[in-house]
Amino acid sequence: MSALTLVDVAFMGDGSSPEEIARTARLMGFKAVAVDGLKDYLRIDGVSLIPRHTFTDPIKGTIPKGNVLRVFRCVDPEAFKLTNKVMTYAHAVELGGKMLGKLGRKNARKLANTSVPVIIRASEVYDALVRGRSLSGLATLLKLYEAGKIMLSMGSGSRVVKEVRHGITLIAILTTLGLSEAKALVALTTNPKTLMERAGYAIK
Amino acid sequence: MPLSEGQLATLLALTSLTLSIISLIVVAFLYRHYRIVNSKVTLLASALGSRAVKAYVKTVEARKERGERRRYLIIRLIHSGRLGRVELESLLLNAYGKLFGSSRSSTAGLKVMDLDERTGTAIIRFKAPRKWEVLAALGAVENLSEGKVIAVPLRVSGTLRKAKEHVRRLTRSAK
């Protein structure tokens, strides 16, 4: 359905073979996928598979060097600390769990002031919508993004290959949540590409 | 041989006579056409003034305002187990209802028009302004079916005929 360069910045690899991930990504319209736990960059069947590393502790923990998309994941508003380590090493901050329910004014201000790129997972958004959970934190994020104060990217957030959704579906969910079509499109194309470039991969 | 004065005068008179005859014919032709067009315009104006036409124009305008133009979405289904037309429709309506509420789902005009179980392609009809909502609901189908059904949107078409043509092309290319 799409001739766009859609990029998935959040595929949480579950041990599926790279060939299978690439095949699914191609079917779902993605030209590049950041896969958590992947060791090296791979290009299979026209799809770029980029290694991604997620860390949840903003102070401790080892961070791999080299061309890896490094993401600081935060699921609790209380634990949201943009330490030096996060600001130096992380290419983006991934917000999920309770953060989507309640972001908090202080955290929203932090995000806007530091202008750190933000990633959200579509799987979590769908899960919250289907279960009827609050998404006021996400609404705040989308407002900030619409106002041009933060850079937002959306990834599929799939844990298994079966959970990957089509890129157009992800654009549609952002549009129905109140984003303009142009901004929703950028969150799946330009912004993830910029993130990949920061990680050292040029996506054409 | 130079023409005499009398001959020149005759030639001039003949030319002017020919020109005037031609212009007369043109005027008569134009007048005839004017009469035909005028009668048709009068007929059209009286028809537009009639109650039936006024009601029709009003209906069309109201339909435009309500945005009731239809679109046809072609999807490819990846599923395990049997999935019929009724099951797919209820799954879609359920997903749409979960995301946007049941009242909204009833006015979205969602209907599975065609399902080819062999190739796994389906055509879904919906109201044009709900395009993004329908596409978003496709993503929720995975959640509700617990990963048993994955819907991949392929194309949105304006008419059912074109949508069916596209499906036929897909079937041919798959063979």
DSSP-derived 3-state class of residue A6: strand
A203, part of any domain: no
Last residue of a domain, one of B47, B62, B77: B62
Residue A1 lies in a domain: no
Instruction: Give the mean pLDDT of A177-196.
Output: 92
Q: From A161, which residue of chain B is nearest by alpha-carbon distance?
A: B147
Q: What is the DSSP string of A67-108?
A: S-EEEEEE--GGG----HHHHHH-SEEEE-THHHH---HHHH
In A90-170, where do the E strands start and end?
Answer: 92-95, 118-121, 152-155
Percentage of chain B with pLDDT > 70?
A: 97
Nearest residue to A33 via CA among A127, A136, A170: A170
Last residue of a domain, one of B44, B62, B80: B62
Question: A77 lies in which domain range?
Answer: 6-198
Domain boundary among B62, B87, B102: B62
- Give how far A132 is from chain B: nearest CA, Å: 8
Contact B76, A166 (CB under 8 A): no
Per-residue pLDDT at B33: 93
Answer yes or no: is A126 within a domain: yes
In a domain? residue A204: no
Question: Nearest Cβ partner of A176 from B132, B142, B150?
Answer: B132
Q: Does the structure show a pLDDT above 80 at A46? A: yes
Under 8 Å between Cβ of B75 and B151: yes
Give bridge partners of residue A93 from the DSSP assignment: A72, A118
Split at pLDDT 50, 70, 90, the class of A104 is confident
Find the radius of gyration of the CA atoms of chain B.
Answer: 33
Residue identified by tokens 């009724």 is B86
| pLDDT band of A2, cuts 50, 70, 90 | low
Answer whether residue B67 shows pLDDT above 70: no
pLDDT of residue A61: 67
Q: Is A180 on the interface with B (CB under 8 A)?
A: no
What's the structural domain count of chain B?
2
The domain tally of chain A equals 1
By mean pLDDT, which of A5-14, A170-179, B141-150 is the weakest?
A5-14
CA–CA distance, B78 with B83 (Å, rounded to integer): 10
Q: Is residue B26's pLDDT more than 90?
A: yes
Same domain, yes or no: B58 and B85: no
A122 touches chain B (CB under 8 A): yes
Provide the residue range defining the domain that includes B53: 5-62
Q: Are residues B150 and B72 in the same domain?
A: yes
One domain for residues B56 and B74: no
Based on the domain organization, do B76 and B57 belong to the same domain?
A: no
- A124-169 per-position pLDDT tens digit: 999 999 998 999 999 999 999 999 999 999 998 888 877 888 999 9
